[in-house]
């Protein structure tokens, strides 16, 4: 088969500040999964945060050193993977803007060179490693929420769904109104909390309508928002990062 992609031997992991601090299980799952698929994982320890929160809230100059740090940590990596669609979108779509604001041509060039090499997890598995069946087993009812950055900025399309459909034992249920925002929006959840809650409520209602046990997505941040509401309302429904489901086995 001439078109089979050659799986990358190594990939550097950008775990994200949120993933590192609050959702390490998702990160562990990414590592286990990729190793199972034959790709070794590096973890450059100089990494901290991609700067999305600052940039999106209007604190552009504060984001500049964070962009530099990212470039320094990952500049030598052939390929970078992250379990956060929103962070990857920040790097690929907005790092150039931050670099432009910095006025540092060196940074502009470095960003232009690195950004295309930064991938979200499902992009890496489907496009580069070239598989949809990752050997997972997860006998539960699951519904998938396509997060806004993954949907509209990275155009992940049906990659996550194809990966989920190949999971043995899974009962995958379509989420009504899937493409509607969950209401997180980063600092939006704080600065416009009433509207945010209204949106989250509707997202939770849609999830409950599917009777799923688990809601999954490619972003821990959105999942944190959804989980916060599922938990507060004592729904008995939990969230899991896509990586955790894909890493599950018998």
Partner 1 sequence: MTETTEPHTLAEPHTLAEPHTLAEPHTLAEHHTQSFPQAARGALADTQLRRNLGHATHTIRAKRAAAVAEMGDWEELREAGRAIKERTLRHLDQYLVALELSVTRAGGTVHWARDGEECNRIVADLVAAHGVDQVVKAKSLTTEETRLNDALAARGIQALETDLAQLIIQLAEEEPSHILVPAIHKNRAEIRELFLRTLPEAPADLSDDPHALAEVARRHLRERFLSARVGISGANFAVAETGTIAVVESEGNARMCTTLPEVLITVMGIEKVIPTWQDLEVYLQVLPRSSTAERMNPYTSLWTGVRPGDGPQEFHLVLIDNGRTSVLADEIGRQALACIRCSACLNVCPVYERTGGHAYGSTYPGPIGAILTPMLVGVKNAPSLPYASSLCGACYEVCPVKINIPEVLVHLRGQVVSGQDSVKPEAVVMNLAARMFGSRLLYEFAQRLGRLAQRPFARGGLIRLRLPGPLSGWTDARDLPALPPESFREWWRGRDRE
**Quick one: which segment of 122-130, 160-168, 173-181, 206-214 binds partner 1 (CB under 8 A)?**
173-181
Taking the complex as a whole, the smallest distance from the CB of residue 117 to partner 1 amounts, in Å, to 21
Among 140, 161, 162, 192, binds partner 1 (CB under 8 A): 192
Positions 27 through 66 that interact with partner 1 (CB under 8 A) = 27-28, 31, 43, 45-46, 48-49, 51, 53-66
What is the pattern of x (binds partner 1, CB under 8 A) and - over residues 200-239? x-----------------------xx-xxx-xx-------
Q: Which is nearer to partner 1, 167 or 199 (CB)?
A: 199
What is the pattern of x (binds partner 1, CB under 8 A) and - over residues 90-129? ----x--x---xxx--------------------------
CA angle (60 as vertex; 152, 147 as ends), nearest 5: 20
Taking the complex as a whole, the smallest distance from the CB of residue 79 to partner 1 amounts, in Å, to 18
Q: Which is nearer to partner 1, 167 or 181 (CB)?
A: 181
Positions 136 through 165 that interact with partner 1 (CB under 8 A) = 148-149, 151-153
| C-alpha 54, offset from chain centre | 18
Q: Of 178, 115, 188, which Cα lies nearest the Cα of 150? A: 178
């Amino acid at each position: 088969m001439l078109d089979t992609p050659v799986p990358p031997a190594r990939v550097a992991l950008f775990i994200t500040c949120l993933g590192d601090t609050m959702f390490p299980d998702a990160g562990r799952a990414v590592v286990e999964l990729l190793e199972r698929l034959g790709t070794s994982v590096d973890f450059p320890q100089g990494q901290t945060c991609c700067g999305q929160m600052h940039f999106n809230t209007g604190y552009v100059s504060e984001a500049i050193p964070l962009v530099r740090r990212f470039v320094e940590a990952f500049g030598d990596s052939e390929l970078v993977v992250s379990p956060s669609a929103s962070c990857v979108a920040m790097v690929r779509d907005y790092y150039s803007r931050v670099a432009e604001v910095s006025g540092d041509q060196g940074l502009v060039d470095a960003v232009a060179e690195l950004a295309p090499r930064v991938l979200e997890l499902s992009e890496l598995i489907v496009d580069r490693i070239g598989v949809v069946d990752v050997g997972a087993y997860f006998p539960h009812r699951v519904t998938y929420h396509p997060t806004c950055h993954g949907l509209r900025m990275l155009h992940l399309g049906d990659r996550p769904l194809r990966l989920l459909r190949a999971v043995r034992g899974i009962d995958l249920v379509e989420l009504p109104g899937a493409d509607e925002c969950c209401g997180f929006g980063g600092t939006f959840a704080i600065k416009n909390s009433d509207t945010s809650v209204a949106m989250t409520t509707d997202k939770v209602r849609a999830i409950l309508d599917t009777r799923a046990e688990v809601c999954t997505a490619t972003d821990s941040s959105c999942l944190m928002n959804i989980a916060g509401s599922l938990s507060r309302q004592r729904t008995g429904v939990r969230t899991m990062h896509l990586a955790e489901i894909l890493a599950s086995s018998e």
